[in-house]
A = this chain, B = another copy of it.
Amino acid sequence: MYYQIIIQLSMNEKQIEILEAAEVLFSTKGFDGTSVRDIAKAANVNVAMISYYFGSKDKLLETLFEDRISGFKMKTDAIYNKNISSFERLEILIDTYIKAMNTNAGLYQILAVEGTIKKRLLISPAFTDLKKFNLEVIGNVINKGIEEGVFNKNSNPILIHATMMGTFMNFQMNRSFLQHVLEFHTEEEYLSYIENELTDHIHKTIKALLTYEE
């Protein structure tokens, strides 16, 4: 059994609206490119309310992360199911991860962009713990496959993770260029490409990497 402790920050409706507005704006315009007035307007609240509720713009970003960070944590129930093969387990793992990235696209985007600037975000205990947990899950899945003799030895979870996430994020961050190159004219086409071709590609890549004979 796996217990999951969810720390639910108690928030009222307005606070939630502010966070939602902030998430959208930060991910599309960047943290520095978004003013608290933008957020207040989008959330339909008074400007002063942001300082009032969150202390400052910086703390708003941190709170946003703290609040959303649980979505970064992999759901492991299906992964740790013992009645499946290592390959099936791997597929579930990858699907789970991609789904999480798709669901939390805004947050991942913010993290990618602001993480390099506001390093604090990347090294906050809450975030590193989750990331380490995820890397551990990936490590567990790989080790299980190694034990079973179906995955290559010396497979590095950190590098596997970098490829899985990096490939996906590359599509998030170069959207404008790729839509242009792939000659997509609607948002739907792009999202569909991510869900199908890109996801298949990531599956294939990781599987190839784990089974490839040098």
Contact = CB atoms under 8 A, between A and B. Distances in A.
Contacts of A135: 181
Nearest to A175: B116
Contacts of A100: none
Given A30-B30, A166-B167, A201-B159, A123 B209 contact: no
Interface of A: 27-33, 109, 112-117, 119, 122-123, 127-128, 131-132, 135, 156, 158-159, 162-163, 165-178, 180-182, 197-198, 201, 204-205, 207-209, 211-212, 214
Contact of A116 (B31, B165, B173): B173
Nearest to A169: B166
A182 B29 CA distance: 32
A187 to B, nearest CB: 14
A29 to B, nearest CB: 6
Contact of A197 (B131, B156, B204, B214): B156
B173 A112 contact: yes
Most buried by B among A165, A166, A169, A172: A166
14 contacts: A30-B114, A30-B117, A112-B112, A113-B113, A119-B176, A122-B180, A132-B181, A135-B181, A162-B201, A165-B166, A166-B166, A166-B167, A166-B169, A169-B170
A167 B163 CA distance: 5
Nearest to A198: B159
A85 to B, nearest CB: 16
Contact of A181 (B131, B166, B177): B131
Given A163-B166, A205-B205, A109 B116 contact: yes
Given A28-B116, A33-B117, A109-B116, A170 B162 contact: yes
